[in-house]
Amino acid sequence: MGSGKWTLTTAAIALVCAVTVLGTSGAARATPGRPAPAPAPGGSAPAPGKDLEAVRRKLDTLYHDAAVATDAYNAAEETTKKQSAQIVELAREIVKGQERLALLKDRAGAAARAQYRGGGLPPEVRLWLSDNPQEFLDEAGIARQGEHATEGLLAEMTRTQEDLRQYARDAADQWKRLDANRRAKAEAKKEIEKQIAAAEKLQSQLKKQEQERLRKLEEQAAYKAQTAWLDSGILKEIRGKASEEGAKAVAFATHQIGKPYVWGAEGPNSYDCSGLTSQAWAAAGTAIPRTSQEQWKQLRHVDVKDMRPGDLIIYFGDASHVAMYVGDGAIIHAPRPGRMVTIAGAGSMPILGVVRPDA
């Protein structure tokens, strides 16, 4: 992507962010990265009351808790996939080991039968009775080689049997871990559904006019946070250009705008927050961890002032949300249940830090 095209794209994104996401008016003027002033409460809509502000905070808490549970669910899901694959591989090794052991037993049995047929008199008597002592000695050397080969077979059988026992122990341990992770996933799913159901119930109790006021409160809270972030002067310091991979990740994320948030989803029709970022970077050719918490733990940290389009911004102290920085103070993210993949202000939520998937 050429630099001119990139500038136009990010400027357009920031304009959309300023005009449509952060609660600006149609007549307001906006500059990239800075939202236009939020409309003052008034006109036909009553001023937001403390009761609705409490509802907003409660909804934030419920959806945050649902996001934490979603991260736990996604982590358990990823671990379950890996453990299932390991169990399949162990099963293959056990089958191969059993086949190898059967072959070794056949070879050992054949060697034992040959040795039995060649037995009988003690070696010194056989030497004394032999018409050709040299031939006897040659045969004795071959016999000793056979005995050594038999000993080697027995040792290999012992090793194979021990390998099989170890594979069986490993498989049993993996089954236990798999079962534990399945239970953890089920518990996380119940917690997600519980938090979302509570949020939906709370919202359903509001009248249409109250729901509209609540939406404006949410926009104003995001506007206030974004304005405070921009007023720090941080945007003047952020001058990084997207890498080739980062530009591809941003392009992928941009094409997902308007698709619904669904917890646990990784596309192509819906996403949760880390499902969107992990798939965007997969489309750019880089595999990253599935969950926002693991993205925070495993990916390289960079200073906010050094971030560039394609980098991931991790939010909240528990790393329960992630978004992709797209330039000019804007992000693309999958916000929460009931919302679509959208553009928002990078500072509209509490930033924990920034991570970079590519070199």
- Does the annotation mark 64 as catalytic? no
Of the candidates 343, 357, 359, the residue with the CA atom closest to the CA atom of residue 292: 357
Residue 35 per-residue DSSP state: P
- Does the annotation mark 273 as catalytic? yes
Q: List C-alpha distances in Å: 314 to 273, 277, 318, 348.
A: 10, 11, 9, 12
Of all helices (H) and strands (E), which one includes residue 326?
A: strand 321-327
Contact present, 314 and 353 (Cβ < 8 Å): yes
- What the block records as the tokens of 334 is 């999958």
Whether the upstream peptide bond of residue 32 has omega within 30° of 0, thus cis, is: no
Of the candidates 249, 284, 276, 279, the residue with the CA atom closest to the CA atom of residue 260: 276
User: How many CB atoms sit inside 10 A of residue 302's CB?
Assistant: 16
Burial environment of residue 156 by CB neighbours within 10 A (0 to 12, 13 to 18, 19 or more):
middle
Contact present, 94 and 167 (Cβ < 8 Å): yes
How many Å apart are CA 41 and CA 183, to the nearest integer?
47
- Would you state the torsion angle of the CA atoms of residues 328, 334, 339, 341, taken in this order, to the nearest 10 degrees? 60
How many Å apart are CA 178 and CA 82, to the nearest integer?
9
Angle, to 10 degrees, between the axis of helix 50-117 and the axis of helix 208-231? 80
206: helix, strand or coil: coil
Q: Which of 17, 148, 255, 273 is catalytic?
A: 273
- Does the annotation mark 255 as catalytic? no
22: helix, strand or coil: coil
Q: Give me the half-sphere count of Cα atoms (radius 13 Å) on the Cβ side of residue 290.
A: 19
Q: Which of 17, 64, 255, 321 is catalytic?
A: 321
Kindly list the catalytic residues: 273, 321, 333
